[in-house]
Chain A
């Protein structure tokens, strides 16, 4: 394996890491900070993908000269739509299942089936193709022989921005302070006057919105069909649980570990065997550290 291939493999690892992080960060917020197991997280990503598809179609019909920048509008719209949908979902459905994790699991699983069929009925069972903006196609060749796809570079940049944004939100804003307080001790937070119900709704909505951004990003590298969500949900949960459910740093680090190991193993053995090995490693680590790599301490 020469140096060019090695560099591209490392890049692939970083790219996969950012994709896993984008998928898992929404789930980490909802699962980690609220304790809600949202099996419909994949379908929220699919919603973001479909919103991107609709944005692209609208742009190509009404403003074809702006097709180059439709992606930014799509990201904003995907976030907005899934945020609003998440808010409604929390208020109307999820909040009845707090403190009943098994029921939440079953209920959100049912919700994911409903959403999948809704996508099938509205958009058709067929995949829809989302056009890639011209400036994102192709690869960047810093040195002859090393090709780094531009779309993946864009995704890395976007994930860094999103992760940084979430970090600022959680650690430098008043709202973030309240969220962290509620995670550590809900009863005490209510006692000091924090409106936990409104906070829960906004937190869930934010998790959903992040899933929407992830879905928008996936249109660049994968296919958009009603079953898209199912492909990503398992990986998202593995990353979150492996990293430690209540720690966002844990999610990031576990995403990095899994991504790099996976790309390296995929190069050395077949794709299926690499996946088997990764899952076995996750099982072994969880056996010795059941709360994940970085379990945060709390009084709950």
Chain B
């Protein structure tokens, strides 16, 4: 049983007009067979009026309510679904039960009066009482969606809605529901808030400015209904989170006290879903990176935001630098002050940095000046990154991608000239990473084990890439032996770190091995590319033999063997190709580098 409302005087006018029309219809007589079908419709219309609607209206107007289905009632205004009738009741309308529908019948057309009534009732009543059932919330959301789709209805709603206050109270309701674990209600409230914001967005002046004045949590919930994108979304998120971090009166915000979800938990998913917005937001946040790292305890969200916002697939190196440089410098200075008693303390921001830095490693070394760092600054920042075990793991994994890049990207152009810039970049990248790892490895034996595992994998990759041992690679037993010893020590010692001197010795050995391995990669990659392009005969790689005694230093032995291989090609290729090989070997494994490690 639903409710209906009526203005007695106007209903009387309707009744009179209906009676007059029915009488006129009854007075029309014509038995001409040519219009018999038309006359059937005339009679039907007359019956609709006189037999159906006039009796209904008559019962209401005669106040003969006893025993009828249209019994008078008085609404108390505690159900948002009767907002329109409640307001009309206040204007002197009669309200009665209605047998034709249920309270909150969603099929009933939304009127301007109802839109205005919803706005007024939400703005002046106890909202928690108005929407204390799932049915009321569902009805309100559905009504708001209809209103939002009609500019005139939206204007009616906005005219009576105290938007800021209503959204803030609804947000409090949402927090209460979330805090008590009532996620069904929390979800419904979030949907209502979004629908409300959507409905009034065209009728609020300077809407984003209005949002900023809200409780940030309410602002975040409302923002989800505004369908903002790109720079506009980024700017709004930046302002809301900045305000969240700096409450105007120095106090806290409700969500900061209640949790378990925070303002940032609502906003970051919007940014993650919009890569341009994510990048724009991170660029803005570079001025105050705390809004990224200290507004949520959800490290997964922060990780996704950082990865999406700095994804090389859609972010230029310049834009990435505008984000990475200030963000990493801020983290280096502040991460030690993160505690688990503060938001952002439940995840280790450093663990995210390996994945973040991996695609941009060139800008920590060979291209460091593009990001405004000095060479030493770039190295120090990368050192800070690899100082975290998880970040180091991620970077080591990323090096595999760089090795693949080295293998597949052409090192020479169509004329056989080496791409000196790229070769230098790659050599510099590996040298930088080697230096950083070497330093780190002396402090972290676990990393040494990882590196050796990776090294073995890399050598295997080269061997299998060219098949059947054609290159004749032999891996020195030195490193595996040393590492084996260290691993034994680690096993014996449990989680205790191994002897520092031993690890340092191992690291030096690995340095030589890594330089040699990288040089092998570069030379083999170039040779393979030249074979493919026809600039070298197919059997050219057969002449590469890396076996034998290196005189106590693998790197020196490898360089000598590579030089011999290149010399062997001198008469089988053009002078340009030969010079490319010489330049590449010099880039990756120069005599000075040999002297450093051997």
**Real binding pair:** no
